[in-house]
Structure 1
Amino acid sequence: MSLSPPRQLRAPLAMALSLLVAACASTHGLEPQGLLLSPDSLEASRALGARSDAGFPQQDWWKSFGDAQLDTLIDEALAGTPSLDAADARVRQAIAQAGLAEAAGKPTLGATAQYSGVQIPETVAPPPIGGDYVGVTLLGLQFKYSPDIWGGHRARTQAALGQARAAEVEAQAARLTLSSNIARTYVALAQAHEAADVAKADAQRASHLLDLGRQRVKAGLDNQLQIRNAEAAVASAQQQEQAAQQQIDAARNAIAALLGKGPDRGLDIARPTLLAAPAPQVPGVVPSELLGHRPDVVAARWRVESARHGIKASKAEFYPTVNLSALVGVAAGNLSDLFSSDAFLAQGGPAISLPIFDGGRLRNNLAKSDAEYDLAVATYNQSLVGALREVTDALQASRSLDAQLASTQRARESAQAAWQLATARYKAGLGTQLDVLNAQRPLLQFEQQLAALRAQRLGAAIDLDRALGGGLEFAAPSSDTQDINDISRASTP
């Protein structure tokens, strides 16, 4: 028994086969160039130094600073701000776009009601065709479906889903950014309060110097130069105190804005009571596990996945498309005849189409998809490198600042001992009040340095928690970079 197709189908099948071969050949020379970096290929063991078995930060990482007011502020912000509303709206937009892509590959069924009429002039056709008006009323159901033979519809849906998942991750990244920005601004507020304390103490010291200078000039023990120097010191200390107050006001305004509130909300923020920054700890699984914790890295990886499916969708367009359509209904020239048995109308069948000459549209579209994939890969690679750099910078800064704090604390203790010694000598009649005031100046300077270093250390702790992903965990695409790199260069399906 022969298995060859009927004679009447041989020519169309041969034509379709030749067109198929021609279509496959038209993708020649087009493929993406980007290669995904493997996280384990980024060596960082020496830069990160000794690491413990500590895990990644908790989602409420800011509670380690021990300030209940900071906890309340971040909880208030995460309950809803304009920046989070915008991020959530982008998520809904991406999900809707994915729904549109999925719907495009499903069958459609619609109802149609149509009336049309025509009158052919007798100058074109003699009666009975010409000169009479003929109207037709049509009622029917129309069915359309394009089978996803080459996977193009599914690839477009997967590409849109990848974008939606990236948007969802970026919405979480917006929450991490918001909480870390509030924490950093809160630290700046704490530093400004400490700077105001030091400036106030320095202003009191300068005022005492001025009073002492005036007494010495009046007693003939000194000249006007000492008074002028003391007056300059008083004005300088007052300026520092005013600058610190301006920093307090600015920090309060910034926090209020981050909360999505007006400036009056900032006036209710009390002085921070931040404890010391926690010791820096980095999990031993860095950098390999960054892919599942860093929102920017995960989002970039989903965009790579989306672009990879975009290439599949562009390649599928080179193949023939099959469209199935059918129309079932009734049609008649008179309404009274519309539902008679003779008015039944049926039309339908498959249609195969394939562009042969398109002016380079398909090749350029595929080249665009390849370039989008390369861009997504480059963005992912840069995100991965940048994430590891941020972890290393924050860790090294924490360790360095801990050492600087220890050295400055020792210097401050020495300055305090010198001031206490000058005070004891003055009380014993062996020194002057001028010696006491002069010994107080380096003590205040070291206290100002300590306030700045403590703020930097707290900032480094915030940066480290943020660099490690802020306790977030995400479902990321396959991390097998070799397989992804091979698949991206796969031939047309």
Structure 2
Amino acid sequence: MALTLAVAALAAGCADTAGIASHARMRDAAQAGVPVTTTSTNDFAQVDAQWWRAFGDAQLDMLEQQALAANPNLQVARARVARALAATGVAEAAGRPQLSGDAQLLRQRYSENYIYGALGGTVQENGTLQLNGSWELDFFGRNQAAIQAAVGSARAAEADAQAARILLATNVARSYIQWARLEAQRDVARRTLAQREETLRLVRDRVSAGLDTQLEQRQSEGGLPEARQQIEALNEQIDNAKHALDALVAAPEATARLTPPSLAALKAVPLAGQIPVDLLARRPDVAAARWRVEAAARDEDSARAQFYPNINLTAFVGTQSIGFDRLLKSGSLQWGVGPALHLPIFEGGRLRANLGGKAADHDAAIESYNVAVIDAVHEVADQVSSARSIVRQQAEQSTAQRAAEDAYQIALQRYQAGLGTYLNVLTAETAVLAQRRQAVELSARALDTQASLARALGGGWAGEPSATAKTAALNESAAAR
């Protein structure tokens, strides 16, 4: 055993891995363009795991629960987690003692021209019963690195599953808001139709009284088909939005049993003044990218350890005899124990090429992490900017709508009194309808942006997957390093 270890130590000094290593570096917050602040996490930034409840709609809450329970894409993500955890178990098993059993009963004719002597030319019955054991001594950390890589991949899969959950919840909320937006737009279109029908009655009365001509009447009649067409187009879009929700919750006709949502009833979530930088670390997609860096680094360590000797302790015990009747007698006992050493001497460049590939994978994982961080910063900045801008736009639009409504009433009153033309009424009405539609769009955008911002801030994810035995294994591995 001492000689084996001496040979292994000598061979380890001869392993040639020069010039092969990962060179990429993970970006910190400052390099990603995030201003570091000591501001504590505020109420809005502390996104609740069920953040959609802040909208105050029981139907939306029910749809979210259905989607999270039954959506097939989420089940696929959970299956990937189970597969990654199984791979971790396989990696852990490689470093544990192995035990196997062999049993063989054979009737055999022995060659007359070989080493069997008196047995040559005879037919005998051979029997073997044996237990075989082996244990790979991981002196150079190859198995340990493989375990750490598998744990990192499993943690990344868990984070990916959480990212899929958050994306699904966001899509359900956004689709529901879209449905509410279309319902509100249809209400505006119906009000438009009613308004134009009322105006047509007024014009006809004026034509009958000789106060208007057929020109004004035809102008008024032309607006009715246009309003009906807008309503029909919105009906189509509403059906499509409901179909999308049905697909997300994996329940056909789920929305058919619901009351059309009210955009005005959905509560707006106030925007915080500042977003703490540590929230980016709680995004599951960023965490998954970070764990893939960990897995790739350990894969590189495992590939580097393949340059060093592989040392195993092997042992066997059992019985072997010629003639089945003597197989279980004490004289048939055999056993053996000793070290086994596998030393790579010339691999034709295979080990260096493998290490080079793992180093490249490590670089790619680091740069993918950097991209994830930059994209996260970009996404949060966009949503915050949009949310603040929409608040300002809504204030201006509200003022503009009040002015348009007042102008319309004045134009209509002047027309009824014979002091203005119908063209003035149409112009004022067009401005009012445009403002009503704009109000609906801004309200829907505000809610949609809040849903997107909740996802951008991590969707209420705690920051890391729950502790498991795999987590403990990773911590032990890190301590060992």
Q: TM-score, normalised by structure 1?
A: 0.86
Q: CA deviation at 1:209?
A: 4.9
Identity %: 38
Are 1:158 and 2:139 an aligned pair?
Answer: no
**Conservation of the 8 A alpha-carbon contact between 2:283 and 2:456:** yes
The aligned amino acid for 1:178 is: L
Provide the residue aligned with 1:237 in structure 2.
Answer: 227
Are 1:307 and 2:296 an aligned pair?
Answer: yes
Deviations 1:280-334, CA, capped at 9 Å, x for gaps: 2154522x4421x111001111111111111111111110011111110111111
Q: CA deviation at 1:130?
A: 2.7
The aligned amino acid for 1:77 is: A
Provide the residue aligned with 2:353 in structure 1.
Answer: 364
Are 1:106 and 2:96 an aligned pair?
Answer: yes
Are 1:37 and 2:27 an aligned pair?
Answer: yes
**Conservation of the 8 A alpha-carbon contact between 2:299 and 2:358:** yes
1:470 maps to which of 455, 459, 462:
459
Provide the residue aligned with 1:142 in structure 2.
Answer: 132
CA distance in 2, matches of 1:458, 1:63: 13
Secondary structure at the counterpart of residue 150 of structure 2: helix
Distance 1:14 1:177, change over 3 A: closer
Are 1:327 and 2:319 an aligned pair?
Answer: no
Provide the residue aligned with 1:61 in structure 2.
Answer: 51
Unaligned runs of 5+ in 1: 478-492
Q: CA deviation at 1:174?
A: 1.4
Matches within 5 A, 1:123-138: 128-138=118-128
Q: CA deviation at 1:140?
A: 1.5
**Conservation of the 8 A alpha-carbon contact between 2:279 and 2:458:** no
Deviations 1:166-221, CA, capped at 9 Å, x for gaps: 11111111111111111101110111011111111222333445555666667777
Provide the residue aligned with 2:339 in structure 1.
Answer: 350
CA distance in 2, matches of 1:282, 1:347: 73
Are 1:191 and 2:181 an aligned pair?
Answer: yes
Distance 1:177 1:120, change over 3 A: same
CA distance in 2, matches of 1:34, 1:133: 68
The aligned amino acid for 2:270 is: A
**Conservation of the 8 A alpha-carbon contact between 2:315 and 2:335:** yes
CA distance in 2, matches of 1:125, 1:331: 18
**Conservation of the 8 A alpha-carbon contact between 1:252 and 1:269:** no
**Conservation of the 8 A alpha-carbon contact between 1:51 and 1:282:** no
Matches within 5 A, 1:57-456: 57-122=47-112, 128-210=118-200, 226=216, 229-262=219-252, 264-273=253-262, 274-281=265-272, 283-286=274-277, 288-291=278-281, 293-425=282-414, 436=425, 438-456=427-445
Secondary structure at the counterpart of residue 39 of structure 1: coil
1:21 maps to which of 13, 16, 23:
13
**Conservation of the 8 A alpha-carbon contact between 1:213 and 1:226:** yes
Distance 1:403 1:51, change over 3 A: farther
Distance 1:238 1:320, change over 3 A: same
**Conservation of the 8 A alpha-carbon contact between 1:419 and 1:436:** yes
CA distance in 2, matches of 1:333, 1:51: 81
Moved more, 166-175 or 177-186: 166-175
Deviations 1:12-58, CA, capped at 9 Å, x for gaps: 777545432222xx211100121000123333449x9x998444212
Distance 1:463 1:41, change over 3 A: same
Distance 1:15 1:68, change over 3 A: closer
Distance 1:296 1:80, change over 3 A: same
The aligned amino acid for 1:281 is: A
**Conservation of the 8 A alpha-carbon contact between 1:202 and 1:441:** no
**Conservation of the 8 A alpha-carbon contact between 2:109 and 2:121:** yes
**Conservation of the 8 A alpha-carbon contact between 1:137 and 1:331:** yes
Unaligned runs of 5+ in 2: 467-480
CA distance in 2, matches of 1:306, 1:441: 61
Q: CA deviation at 1:139?
A: 0.6
Are 1:458 and 2:458 an aligned pair?
Answer: no
- Coordinate RMSD, CA, aligned: 2.9
Q: CA deviation at 1:106?
A: 0.6
The aligned amino acid for 1:158 is: Q
Aligned residues between the structures: 463
